[in-house]
Chain A
Amino acid sequence: MSEGILIGLSTAMQPLNLLMVFVGCFAGTFIGMLPGLGPISAIALMIPITYGFDPAAGMILMAGVYYGAVFGGSTSSILINAPGIAGTVATAFEGYPLAQRGDAGKALAIAAYASFAGGTIGAVLLLAAAPALAAVALSFQSADYFALMVLGLTAVSAFAARGQFLKAMMMTVVGLMLATVGQDVSSDTYRFTFGQVDLLDGFSFLLIAMATFALSEALMVVLRRQMVAPEALAATKGHMGSLALSRGEIREMVPAILRASPFGFLIGVLPGAGATIASFLAYGMERNVARGEAKARFGKGSVRGLAAPETANNAASTGSFVPLLTLGIPGSGTTAVMLGALLSFGIQPGPSLFQDRPEVFWSVIVSMYLGNVILLILNLPLIPYIARLLTLPRQILVPLILFFSLIGVYLVSFNPFDIQAMVAFAAFALVFRLMDYPMAPLILAFVLGRLMEENLRRALLINDGSISFLWERPICLGITIVTIVVLAVPIFDWWRQRRVVTAGEGG
C-alpha cells in the first residue's frame, strides 16, 4: 500500500496536478456558494474542460471541485442562510445564528476546521478501506454486480426525503429507460430511435447530467426570482468577526469531530446515503449526546452543532468514493457524474483499476487530502473576499451558466440536436423538480443502466437463463437480503402513511 501512496503522492504533487486541485477547490467553492447550484452541476460543468486532460489530472480537478462545492455550500449556509447544496442544510441550523450575532468569521473557521478534520479522517479511512474492498471485489461476478446495482438504485430511492420514495423510484425507472435509447449493448439492434439518426448513439450522460442539473438549477434560480439576496449584500459588506477560536470552543469542537468523522464516512460508503443524510444524522446525534447547557445552545449557535454536520458531510463525500473506485458502482448522483467522467476518459473503475491504473486510483485519494489542505490554508483566509462573489448579479451569471452548459455538451458531438434535447430535458426536470421529484436517482440510473443490463445478460447466460443466482450465490443472497430490507422500510412507511391519511379522509 505504501508503494501506492507514493505513486499517488508523486502524481498528485506534479505542478499541473497541484494546480488542478487549487483550481478545482476554488471553482467548486464559487459554484457551491451559489444557492441552487450543487456539486453535480459543478462537476458536470468541469467535464468538457477536462477533455484532452490526462485522466489522473481530470479526476483530481473534479475531486477538488467536489470538495470546494461542499465547502462553498457551507459558506452560503452560514452567511445568508441559503444552503448552496442539500448537504449543508444542517450547517445553517447553527452556522447562521452564529453569523447573526456577529461571529460569521468564527462560524466559517469552525466549518473549515471541521471539514478539514472530517475530510482528513475520511481520507485515512479510505486509504485503508478502498484496497481491502477492491481485493474482495476481485471475486465478484456479473451476478454480484447486478445485485449491487439493484441495491444502489433501491437505496438511493429509499434514502430520498420522506414521502419521496415512490417519486425517486419513478425517476430511477425513467433514468433506466433513457439508458435504453440507442444501439443495444450486445446486438446491432436499435431501440427507441424512432428512425432518428441523432438517437442512434443514445443520449450522452453529459447531456442528461447538464440538462437535469446545471440547466434546470440555473432556470430554477430565474423561476424562483432568486436574484441577489439582501442578506448576501449585508453579509459581505458587514464585518466577519475574528476567525480565532477560544480554548473552550476547541474543547467543545474536537469530540464532535471525532464522533462525526467515522460516522459520516460509513454513511458515505452506503450506496444512496451520502453527505446530506450524514450531516443530518450527525447533527441529530450530537444534539442527543449533548447535556445541560450544551444542549440548550442548540439552535442558538452551538459550536458542536455546527462542527458535527460539517465533519460528517466531508467524511461522507470521501466515503462515497469507496464504492465508486473499488466496485465501479457510484452510490450517489455526484459519484455517478464522476463515473461518467471516468468512462469518458476510457477508464472503467472497479477492482481492477487498483491494479491496472494505480496512478489514477491513488492520486485521486491523495488529491482529496491535498484538497482539504488547500481549502483550509487558502479558502479560509480568503473567505471574506470569496464571499463577495455571493453578490455577483444573477442576471449575468445565469446566462453564462446556460451558455457554458450548452456549449459543453455541443463540443462533445458538434450536433445541434443535443442542444434541443437538453432544452427538452431541462424543461422536464424543471417541472418535475417543482413536483418534488429528485433528479439524483435519474442520473444514477442512467449511468448504471447499460452496465446493469450487460451484467444481467452475462449472469443469465452463465446461469442458463435462471435468476436463481440471486439466492444461490452467497454474496448475491447477502446483497439481495439487504436490498429487500432497504426496500421494505420506505414501503412500510408509505403503507402506514396511507392508512393514516385514508382514515383521515374517511372520517
Chain B
Amino acid sequence: MRIGRDRLSGLFFLALCIAYGVEAQTIQVFWADPNDPLTPKTFPTALAWVGGFIAFLLVVSPEPPEPSHPWPQLKRFDWLRVAALLGFMVLYGSALQRVGFLVSSTAFLVAGFLLLGERRWWMIAAASLPVVAFFQFSLHGVLGIYIADPFLEWLGVIR
C-alpha cells in the first residue's frame, strides 16, 4: 500500500479525531438536568466518531495516480520565504504590546518588503511608516479605537 499525500493526511486526521475524542471524554458534565438529552460531551463525541470514520475512509481510499516522485512541485515552492513570513508574524504578535503598534507594524512591513525582494528604498519608506501612521491616526482620531503603544506613550504623543 503506497502512502501518498491523501493517506498521510488521512492518518493525521485520524490521530486528530482520536485525540479530540479522548479529550471530549474529559469534559465535565454537571447533571443538573438529568433529562437533558444532549450534554456538553455528546456533540464532540459524535464529531470524533464521524471524523474518525471519514479519516479512516481517506486512509483506505486508493491514492490518486502520482508521478514517481511524490510531490515534484514542492521543490519549486518558496518554502523559505513563507517560513520566514510566518516567523515574522509570530514575532509581530509578540512585539505588538511590548514595543507598540507603530514601531512593530512598521518593522513588520519593512521586513516583509525586504524579504519578498523589494529593494527600492523610497517604495519601502512610502508603503510602511506613512501607512501605519495613517492607520493608527484613523483608529485613534476618527474611529475612537485606542491601541496601547508604549513607544508613543514614552514619546508623549499619546497618553
Contacts and interface: CB of A to CB of B under 8 A. Distances in A.
**Majority secondary structure of chain B interface residues (helix, strand, loop or mixed):** helix
Interface string B96-113: 110000000100110111
Interface in A155-191: 163, 166-167, 169-170, 173-174, 176-177, 180, 184, 187-189, 191
Nearest to B144: A52
Contacts of B30: 187-189
Nearest to B94: A416
B143 A52 contact: yes
B61 A498 contact: yes
A460 B38 contact: yes
B62 A222 contact: no
A187 B40 contact: yes
B118 interface: yes
B37 A189 contact: no
Nearest to A401: B112
- The CB with the most chain A CB atoms within 10 A, among B89, B143, B147, is that of B89
A402 B51 CA distance: 31
B116 interface: yes
Contact of B9 (A184, A426, A432, A505): A432
Given A419-B96, A427-B86, A177 B47 contact: yes
Contacts of A222: 78, 81-82, 85, 116
B28 interface: yes
A223 B82 contact: yes
A416 B96 contact: yes
B38 A423 contact: no
B105 A399 contact: no
Interface in A371-430: 393-396, 398-400, 402-403, 406-407, 410-411, 414, 416-417, 419-420, 422-423, 426-427, 430
A170 B54 contact: yes
B118 A395 contact: yes
A456 interface: yes
Contacts of B143: 51-52
A457 B127 contact: no
A113 to B, nearest CB: 36
Contacts of B147: 411, 414
Interface string A432-469: 10110100000000000000010011001100110000
B62 A502 contact: yes
A219 interface: yes
A254 B106 CA distance: 52
A101 interface: no
B105 A461 contact: no
B56 to A, nearest CB: 10
B9 A399 contact: no
Contacts of A465: 35, 37
Nearest to A399: B112
A174 B10 CA distance: 13
Interface string A230-274: 000000000000000000000000000000000000000000000
A394 B123 CA distance: 13
24 contacts: A166-B57, A170-B58, A173-B17, A173-B50, A173-B54, A174-B13, A174-B16, A180-B43, A189-B30, A222-B78, A222-B85, A225-B77, A402-B89, A403-B112, A411-B147, A416-B94, A416-B96, A427-B86, A437-B9, A453-B43, A456-B43, A457-B38, A460-B37, A501-B62
Interface of A: 51-52, 163, 166-167, 169-170, 173-174, 176-177, 180, 184, 187-189, 191-192, 219, 222-225, 227, 393-396, 398-400, 402-403, 406-407, 410-411, 414, 416-417, 419-420, 422-423, 426-427, 430, 432, 434-435, 437, 453, 456-457, 460-461, 464-465, 494, 497-498, 501-502, 505
Given A191-B24, A398-B116, 20 more contacts: A163-B64, A167-B6, A167-B9, A174-B13, A189-B28, A225-B76, A395-B116, A400-B109, A400-B127, A400-B131, A406-B93, A407-B105, A411-B147, A420-B93, A420-B94, A453-B38, A453-B43, A456-B43, A457-B36, A461-B37
